[in-house]
Chains A and B, each alone.
Chain A
Amino acid sequence: MKSDSDPIFRPGDRVRVRNAAPLGHVRTPFYIRGHAGVVERVCGAFPNPEELAQQRDGLPAQPLYRVRFRQKDVWPGYRGSAEDVIEVEIYQHWLEV
């Protein structure tokens, strides 16, 4: 049976980080919100930190991904190689196609 903790993305999938600004303890850095990247690996499922910070159980656990972004897409006027990347951990509920 499929559970809410199953990953819906696979390595190589192109994803975009939601551009949202909820209050509270959020582990999606501001600089990466709204940017598109490629799933580098699936890390497993972990209790949602936004829920844990509210003293709740954080379940169902959220699949966690490492997403690879091109630096020149993330920072306007990036000085460095066009191949340079930044890899950020993003929970599934922060990703969209």
Chain B
Amino acid sequence: MKETGRYEPYSYFQLMEVSLRELLVEKGVMTEDAIAAAMAAMRARGPERGAAMVARAWLDPVYKSRMLANGSRAAGELGFEVPGLNLIVVENTPQAHNVIVCTLCSCYPRMLLGIPPEWYKSRPYRSRVVREPRKVLAEFGTRVAAKVQIRVHDSNADMRYMVLPMRPAGTNGWSEERLAATVTRDCLIGVAVPKLPKFPKSRKS
């Protein structure tokens, strides 16, 4: 439920959700504590899991090939339980840039990336990124060269998607943890690419 900060009466669907939840508790199907725990677990999940998979793939080409063949199994290898998730990992290369959308609703690999951002669920993103991906990416600050192919993936049915971005230059010898820290949620959706923090250039005479 979205918090707007001011009192508003329940909408039809909010009322339905509260009624259903209260009935399930009253009938002993689940407890309030179990619901609260599930919500806390959902909020605690963030894109760090996806970022860890990316960093491992950058360091281990054999893991990377397993990840591209079966994303869910590769998540399990790092200890991430993803029951029911059919994950496809799509790889960015110098020739192709990938971006994910669910045009029908808001399908998203929550087990690995957490709760999707509001814009991912918004009608403007869902309707525009399929038909003018380059313009939408530019609005996110991601300019893709004309010679690079854009691949838009509509997550419209049973599969879920995550982008494997390219490893940024200048990261030779970096640890897995340090590499993972360059991978943001937006990189895993494909609207951004990993960037290194900018340091002011040292002044040389």
On whether the beta carbons of A86 and B152 are closer than 8 Å, the reply is yes
In whole angstroms, what is the CA distance A6 to B134 when docked? 37
Partner of B157, one of A46, A71, A81: A46
Residues of A within 8 A of B (CB): 27-29, 31-32, 43-44, 46, 49, 64, 66, 71, 74-75, 78-81, 83-91
Confirm or deny: B121 has a beta carbon within 8 angstroms of a beta carbon on chain A.
Answer: no
Interface SS of chain A: mixed
On whether the beta carbons of A78 and B159 are closer than 8 Å, the reply is no
On whether the beta carbons of A85 and B157 are closer than 8 Å, the reply is no
Residues of B within 8 A of A (CB): 86, 88, 103-104, 130-135, 146-159
Partner of A87, one of B147, B153, B158: B153
Partner of A79, one of B130, B132, B156, B159: B132
In whole angstroms, what is the CA distance A75 to B146 when docked? 18
Residues from chain B with a CB closer than 8 A to the CB of A84 are 133-134, 149-152
Partner of B154, one of A79, A80, A87: A87
B164 to chain A, nearest CB (A): 15
